[in-house]
Amino acid sequence: MSAVRWIELLVVAIFTYQVTGSAFIVTMMTLLRLLPMALFGAFMGAIADRLDRRRGLLAVLAATLLASAAIAVLAWTGRLEVWHLAVSCFVSGSAWATDNSFRRIMMGDVVGGERMATAMALDSGANNVSRMAGPALGGVLIATAGIEAVFILSVCLYLAGIAATLSLKHYKHVAPAVHTPVLSRIAEGLREVRARRRLLGIYVITALYNIFGWPCYSLIPVIGKDNLGLGPEGIGLLSSTDGVGAMVGALWVILLARPSHYHAVYVGSVAVFNLMMIGFALMSGPLLAGGFLFLAGVVGACFGVMQTTLIYRAVTPEMRSRMLGLLSVSIGVGPIGFLQVGVLAELLGARTAIVVIALEGLVALALTFPLWRRGSEPDQAAG
């Protein structure tokens, strides 16, 4: 699933920019992958405990496989248009909206709260192996065999994911005692967040990263082509440097991070990420630009590991699905940033757009200090 995500993120951006020449439309494609998290994340978290998560994961894989197969056929027959890719991005984003409530809760059920950070770091490592190889492979495929080859590969990878899921045996550790209505379960989760500053701070930091940090990634193909003079293969290699850095970040979490560090790592990662993206945007050569992306990948991986781990450790088992569903909503506010960076890129250029939105993120981080500053509230549930 991760391999397909990173391959398609790059290839869809390259194809869209080649066809439309619009940086705004390029950013909208990534926006469509995030929008379902805001729309469906809380609902998925509220109903996840009622579902067999293994079957849910199979259904998600089947839906995304069909979407990729449809794009492959359209491309093969020469009928592919940008709006087809937009629909596919939304379907893939809807599948992504289930990730916290299905797959990551399954991981936590296996390892428990004390080992969740290590499990998430290993998960991040698996994700970032594909993040290294995926963009490079996608860039080569679209340059040599066309976009249809990319989506045929996606279908093959989804088939492998289905085979792996069929081999899983998963037993839920916590089942709801009563069938509370979905909206009531969401309301209970929101009350829990409002009552605890630590939880609120985690969601605020996640929202800031996804509004002011993550959208910068959508302009890497634009800067690679227009400012660094790279072709599809070069853009793919440039994008993969972020994945290399993310592998290093995940390894650091496994070997060195301790629970007492988690909060500081989480907040610090957002600040450093924005600084690295400013550095990337200002570089005139691909090697230096790739170096800043590498460092952005390091701290981005630390952020990704911590956001799930902190919430998983902070709440009781019966609340975890709902809390991680709300985390998906915090991730899903990213379209606000994508709209802004897309408009800025059209008006001022991609480089200026990244610098402006990253600086806004640093200011927003400072202004929200009372919400995320480290308090004395202990973890509520680590088991």
User: Looking at the domain assignment, is residue 230 inside a domain?
Assistant: yes
Radius of gyration over every alpha carbon of the chain, rounded to an integer in angstroms: 20
Mean pLDDT, the chain, rounded, equals: 83
Write out pLDDT tens, residues 204-231: 999 999 899 988 888 888 899 888 988 8
- Give the pLDDT of residue 355: 95
Asked whether residue 193 is domain-assigned, the answer is yes
| pLDDT for residue 34 | 77
Residue 88 pLDDT exceeds 80: yes
Q: Is 22 inside a domain boundary?
A: yes
Q: Residue 364, class by beta-carbon neighbours within 10 Å (0-12 exposed, 13-18 middle, 19+ buried)?
A: middle
pLDDT at position 376? 41
Q: In this model, does residue 306 exceed pLDDT 80?
A: yes
**Token pair of 26 as six digits:** 């390029």
Query: Structural domain of residue 326, as residue ranges?
Result: 2-372
> Does 381 reside within a domain?
no
Number of domain units in the chain? 1
- Structural domain contains residue 380: no
What would the pLDDT profile of 94-137 be if each residue is shown by its tens digit? 888 787 677 877 877 777 767 777 777 778 777 777 777 777 78
Predicted confidence band of residue 322 (pLDDT cuts 50, 70, 90): confident
pLDDT recorded at residue 320: 75
What are the backbone dihedrals phi and psi of residue 307, each rounded to the nearest 5 degrees, phi first? Answer: -65, -40
Among 94-108, 296-310, 350-364, 369-383, the minimum mean pLDDT is found in 369-383
What CATH number has the domain bearing residue 99? 1.20.1250.20
The reported pTM is 0.72
Q: What's residue 48's pLDDT? A: 67
Q: Does residue 46 lie within any of the structural domains?
A: yes
Q: Three-class SS of residue 81?
A: coil
